[in-house]
């Protein structure tokens, strides 16, 4: 009996000898910051005596009370919910559908499409944010494209007016038609648009011989100007960010789903097709049930990534005008490192992020357990 007992003791010693360094490292890197964050969120810490502050004490849930009455917190939470929704119900279904099209060889050059769609996921988020910021800028690519359309439409309307008027007759009716196709903001610069614009055209000395000059001047003066500045409004400011979020990481889930689809036994799918199952029935009754666990894991990754969104939004907007594009991570950063730091409130925000993520992940696991199938 002594030898077996001695063997168990030595096995236990060996086990703890191997596990203790990793466990201590875990406590130092993960557990200690979490405990410290909880303590700070319940305190009134403002630097302590070391940094010239007052001694700090535990004050309870005052920071959370302050947090929940701050409208910026609810705005940041709402923006985070938008990102979670576009990620879970945008990236995952789109990535799954694209993966299925490639897996079933419904589209040609599947490997090429995988490479193209995955490229955004491997490029630095800061680079992507700056690139899209330039595209959505008031003088960026999107504005140039929209203004080109507006210019073409305006010139077509101007040429029609010139033809109808029989050439180049500066009449009140001609000016009224010109105003009708013009940018309201440009026409609004005139106190009396019909008379003032007519006088301006006449004083310019335009004639039928220099119509090209007239067209150019009217284009510069009266053509509708498109600018993305409206995207700074609270109701639509998140649209560019949601679009870029969908574009950026859909390819990652495409790769994830396609890799797991290849684990499905092709004989099952072929048998279903022989029995008369349509492509949609194969997708719904064979592929989706076999990948339910993968879909749940992808949803958890989406939720974690959505609540951790910082670099992309910061690079695109730097918080946005009046913080309309602010999310919880940026809100926490501003409280902790911009202006007078409020570390207790920042830690309360971080715990709110953790709690929100646990709630969403718990809902995901419940749904997967209730409606999920089986994994291969």
pLDDT digits (tens, 9 = 90+) for 162-202: 888 777 778 888 888 888 889 888 888 888 888 888 888 88
Instruction: Say yes or no: 237 and 94 in one domain.
Output: yes
Does residue 172 sit in the same domain as residue 317? no
pLDDT band at 321 (very low <50, low <70, confident <90, very high): low
Greater model confidence, 206 or 149: 149
Tokens in use for 314? 């910061």
Is 173 in the same domain as 237?
no
Q: Given 180, 204, 222, which residue is the final one in a domain?
A: 222
Show which of 190, 222, 254 is a domain's final residue: 222
Residues 319-346 have a mean pLDDT of 82
Question: In terms of residue numbers, what domain contains 306?
Answer: 71-138+231-371
| Least confident stretch, 100-109, 142-151, 161-170, 211-220 | 161-170
pLDDT of residue 373: 56
Choose between 318 and 314: higher pLDDT: 314
**Together in a domain, 347 and 248:** yes
Residue 248 has pLDDT above 80, yes or no: yes
Mean pLDDT of 59-63: 88
Residue 376: band (very low, low, confident or very high) from pLDDT cuts 50, 70, 90: very low
Residue 375: the pLDDT is 47
Q: Given a cut of 60, is residue 1 above it in pLDDT?
A: no
Q: Is residue 240 part of a domain?
A: yes
Q: Which residue has the higher pLDDT, 372 or 244?
A: 244
Residue 49 within any structural domain of the chain: no
Instruction: Quote the number of domains for the chain.
Output: 3
Q: Between residues 30 and 113, which one has the greater pLDDT?
A: 113
Residue of 303, 237, 287, 283 whose CA lies nearest to 88: 303
Residue 320 within any structural domain of the chain: yes
User: Phi and psi dihedrals of 132, rounded to 5?
Assistant: -70, -30
- pLDDT score of 339: 76
- Average pLDDT, whole number, for the chain? 85
Report if residue 53 sits inside a domain: no
174 closest CA partner among 164, 186, 182: 164
Looking at residues 244-255, what average pLDDT do you find?
93
> Does residue 4 surpass a pLDDT of 70?
no
Stretch 55-73: mean pLDDT: 88
pLDDT in tens, 256-303: 999 998 888 888 888 888 878 888 888 888 888 888 889 999 999 999
Residues 172 and 134 reside in one and the same domain: no
Report residue 251's pLDDT band, with 50, 70 and 90 as the boundaries: very high
Give the CATH number of the domain where residue 342 resides: 1.10.3720.10
pLDDT of residue 234: 74
The pTM score is: 0.80
SS3 257: helix
Determine phi and psi for 43, rounding to 5 degrees: -115, 180
Same domain flag for 304 and 173? no
Q: Are residues 199 and 98 in the same domain?
A: no
Residues 275, 326, single domain; the answer is yes
Residues 134 and 160 in one domain: no
Q: Check if the beta carbon of residue 343 is closer than 8 Å to that of residue 327.
A: no
214 within some domain = yes
255 and 341 in a common domain: yes
Q: Are 234 and 78 in contact (CB under 8 A)?
A: no
Q: Is 44 inside a domain boundary?
A: no
Co-location of 204 and 341 in the same domain:
no
Which pLDDT score, from 0 to 100, does residue 351 have?
92
In 3D, which of 362, 346, 335 has the Cα closest to residue 38? 346
> 95 and 244: one domain?
yes
Q: Could you say which of 188, 222, 256 is where a domain stops? A: 222
Residue 98 lies in a domain: yes
- H helix intervals, 165-310: 172-180, 184-187, 193-203, 211-222, 239-261, 266-274, 279-282, 288-290, 292-307
Q: What are phi and psi for residue 270, nearest 5 degrees?
A: -65, -40
- Considering the domain boundaries, does residue 266 fall inside one? yes
| Cα–Cα separations (whole angstroms), residue 169 to 153, 162, 164, 198 | 21, 8, 10, 11
More confident residue, 205 or 347: 347
């Amino acid at each position: 009996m002594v030898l077996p007992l001695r063997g168990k003791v030595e096995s236990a010693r060996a086990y703890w000898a191997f596990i203790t360094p990793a466990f201590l490292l875990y406590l130092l890197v993960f557990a200690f910051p979490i405990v410290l964050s909880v303590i700070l969120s319940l305190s009134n810490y403002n630097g302590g005596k070391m940094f010239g502050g007052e001694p700090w004490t535990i004050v309870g849930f005052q920071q959370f009370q302050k947090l929940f009455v701050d409208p910026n917190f609810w705005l940041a939470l709402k923006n985070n919910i938008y990102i979670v929704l576009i990620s879970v119900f945008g990236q995952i279904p789109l990535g799954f559908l694209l993966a299925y099209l490639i897996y079933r060889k419904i589209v040609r050059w599947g490997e090429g499409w995988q490479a193209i769609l995955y490229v955004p996921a491997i490029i630095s988020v800061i680079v992507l944010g700056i690139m899209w910021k330039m595209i959505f800028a008031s003088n960026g690519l999107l504005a140039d494209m929209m203004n080109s359309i507006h210019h073409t439409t305006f010139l077509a309307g101007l040429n029609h007016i010139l033809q109808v008027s029989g050439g180049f007759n500066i009449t009140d009716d001609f000016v009224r038609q010109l105003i009708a196709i013009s940018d309201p903001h440009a026409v609004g610069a005139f106190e009396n648009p019909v008379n003032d614009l007519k006088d301006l055209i006449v004083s310019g000395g335009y004639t039928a011989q220099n119509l090209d000059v007239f067209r150019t001047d009217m284009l510069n003066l009266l053509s509708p100007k498109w600018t993305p500045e409206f995207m700074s409004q609270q109701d639509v400011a998140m649209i560019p960010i949601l679009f870029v979020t969908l574009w950026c990481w859909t390819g990652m889930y495409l790769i994830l789903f396609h890799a797991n689809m290849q684990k499905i036994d092709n004989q099952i799918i072929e048998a279903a097709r022989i029995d008369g199952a349509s492509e949609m029935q194969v997708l719904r009754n064979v592929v989706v049930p076999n990948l339910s666990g993968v879909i749940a894991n992808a949803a958890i990754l989406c939720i974690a990534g959505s609540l951790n969104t910082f670099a992309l939004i910061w690079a695109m907007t730097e918080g946005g005008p009046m913080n309309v594009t602010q999310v919880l991570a940026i809100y926490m950063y501003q409280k902790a490192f911009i202006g007078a730091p409020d570390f207790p409130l920042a830690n309360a925000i971080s715990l709110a992020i953790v709690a929100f993520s646990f709630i969403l992940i718990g809902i995901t696991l419940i749904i997967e357990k209730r409606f999920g199938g089986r994994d291969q």
